[in-house]
A and B are shown apart, each in its own frame.
Chain A
Amino acid sequence: MAGAGGGNDIQWCFSQVKGAVDDDVAEADIISTVEFNHSGELLATGDKGGRVVIFQQEQENKTQSHSRGEYNVYSTFQSHEPEFDYLKSLEIEEKINKIRWLPQKNAAQFLLSTNDKTIKLWKISERDKRPEGYNLKEEDGRYRDPTTVTTLRVPVFRPMDLMVEASPRRIFANAHTYHINSISINSDYETYLSADDLRINLWHLEITDRSFNIVDIKPANMEELTEVITAAEFHPNSCNTFVYSSSKGTIRLCDMRASALCDRHSKLFEEPEDPSNRSFFSEIISSISDVKFSHSGRYMMTRDYLSVKIWDLNMENRPVETYQVHEYLRSKLCSLYENDCIFDKFECCWNGSDSIVMTGSYNNFFRMFDRNTKRDITLEASRENNKPRTVLKPRKVCASGKRKKDEISVDSLDFNKKILHTAWHPKENIIAVATTNNLYIFQDKMN
């Protein structure tokens, strides 16, 4: 695969792993989202327990020129709590579905985190000084008797141990009847969209008591429901353009200049299906679980159950590239339907230069496809490959026939070990890969 430096294949090495070692995974510890911020200095994770953990990359050590800074815990907070919808007797899960970072405007960092119903804007700020020398207050906070004050002094700021504080600055609630699957910040850095199964809303980051509905696909009669919204994203450069994907494998591009309610798409991306290949599973496996624009804004990538597709925004009738993630599963669809794995929602991501795309699979495998060389690689996130700067060994799944040494047969794959969430540093060859409850960080070998 072409590396960022050009010419050589990337050699991925284990860097760090975060999380508990034990096999008994508490539900709350299941990682549900992973996202680098715009500089790549910060890496945020959300979990099923509603918690957010943010890691910060250490400043590069001048003496250790052969490795980049490690990611260490910077801040952790409870973003969402479990709630209860009394009207329907339904619990509202605190699981963090998505985290999206705002670009940095000042010393503080801001991110949006969302569960099924409520989006929150969090401010993460550092405090490394505190005022000392008040006249009317003791250092421990107790008030002094004013009559005991004989001289006045000017309070000064003194350095203190770094404290990172997270505070919720906005709460965007009560706008979604169905479950939020996506949030996306507009390139105007003032608005963002949130999408649930049937509707997409547009918000202003400063305003919490109002949002505009921009897409509504709810039929008048719910019996006629045939498809739902699965993901949505704003275009990285055009503030009027966004896309949303559906459970039927289509992507609609909408232009907010065309009308206030974008129910009529500007473009419809759909690959024609061969009717002779149609089966009970066709629609289910065509459901798009993730859609991501390239950094350039020229392309978008979609992930369905078995493949990753790259679409040129100028061509609606078929993708320009298709990569098979785990085609060997096509002959296992019956059991994958029975154990519900066929409904797993895998995400996908681009590298910083849009030359490589990555997505997860089962057995803690993840796959990368180089768009230029057309080569692909399968790697495993496992504690067995624990030594830093040791290059990861490529994995291979044997679909049928004689299994070679070091290959793993399809029937031996562990379908409980799924990598649904991965993220690529915006500038470097550093990737974050989430297994069920652990976060792995891999880097390319620098030498």
Chain B
Amino acid sequence: MAAPLGTGTRTEEPGQEKQDAQEKAIAHPERAEEAKLKAKYPNLGQKPGGSDFLMKRLQKGQKYFDSGDYNMAKAKMKNKQLPSAGPDKNLVTGDHIPTPQDLPQRKSSLVTSKLAG
């Protein structure tokens, strides 16, 4: 789209920018998606395939209540509130001690598979 005469130094219309962005999205859909993600989560780490992500994968598993950890944490904290589980309850970090409130529901008893029914 050619710039109308007499607009001075601006060479692109605002509409042109939007069209460019759309073209970019079609040519590089992954990059457009990445931009969306970074806009939502500005603190996202630079190395997605790196340590943190893989460590989380290696530690997959339901973290259960450990009375030893819990009591030691309570003793350390004294009167302060224990850090409660963040949105990601399964992430094993140094500071997160599962509390009784965090416990997942007890699994129901084992029965025959419905595929065999």
Interface residue ranges, A against B (CB under 8 Å)? 18-20, 26, 28-29, 31, 45, 47, 49-51, 53, 73, 76, 78, 81-82, 84, 89-93, 116, 178-179, 197-198, 222-228, 247-248, 277, 279-284, 330-334, 337-338, 437-439
Contact = CB atoms under 8 A, between A and B. Distances in A.
A53 B113 contact: yes
Interface of B: 25, 28-34, 36-38, 40, 44, 48-51, 54-55, 57-58, 60-66, 69, 98, 107-108, 110-117
Given A90-B63, A281-B33, A53 B110 contact: no
A225 B51 contact: yes
Given A89-B65, A92-B61, A284-B49, A73 B116 contact: yes
A29 B116 CA distance: 11
A81 to B, nearest CB: 8
Contact of A19 (B31, B44, B57, B115): B115
B106 to A, nearest CB: 11
A439 B49 contact: no
A200 B96 CA distance: 32
Contacts of B36: 334
Given A19-B114, A82-B107, 4 more contacts: A84-B64, A90-B62, A179-B58, A225-B54
Contacts of A338: 37, 40
A331 B49 contact: no
A283 B53 CA distance: 11
Contacts of B110: 28, 49-51, 78, 81
Nearest to A47: B113
A238 B36 CA distance: 48
Contacts of B38: 280
A28 B114 CA distance: 10
Contact of A331 (B25, B55, B66, B111): B25
B113 A226 contact: no
Contact of B34 (A51, A90, A248, A280): A280
A20 B117 contact: yes
B69 to A, nearest CB: 7
Contacts of B29: 330-331, 333
Nearest to A31: B115
28 contacts: A19-B117, A28-B108, A45-B113, A45-B115, A47-B113, A49-B113, A50-B110, A51-B112, A78-B110, A90-B61, A179-B58, A222-B51, A224-B51, A225-B54, A225-B55, A226-B49, A227-B54, A228-B54, A228-B57, A228-B58, A279-B28, A280-B38, A281-B30, A281-B33, A283-B48, A284-B49, A332-B33, A334-B40
Nearest 3 interchain pairs by C-beta: A283-B49, A331-B29, A279-B30
B77 to A, nearest CB: 19
A229 B47 CA distance: 19
Nearest to A89: B66
Given A91-B62, A337-B37, A279 B113 contact: no
Contacts of B108: 26, 28
A226 B64 contact: no
Contacts of B60: 179
B58 to A, nearest CB: 6
A282 to B, nearest CB: 7
Contacts of B66: 89
Nearest to A218: B58
Contacts of B55: 222, 225
Nearest to B54: A225
B64 to A, nearest CB: 5
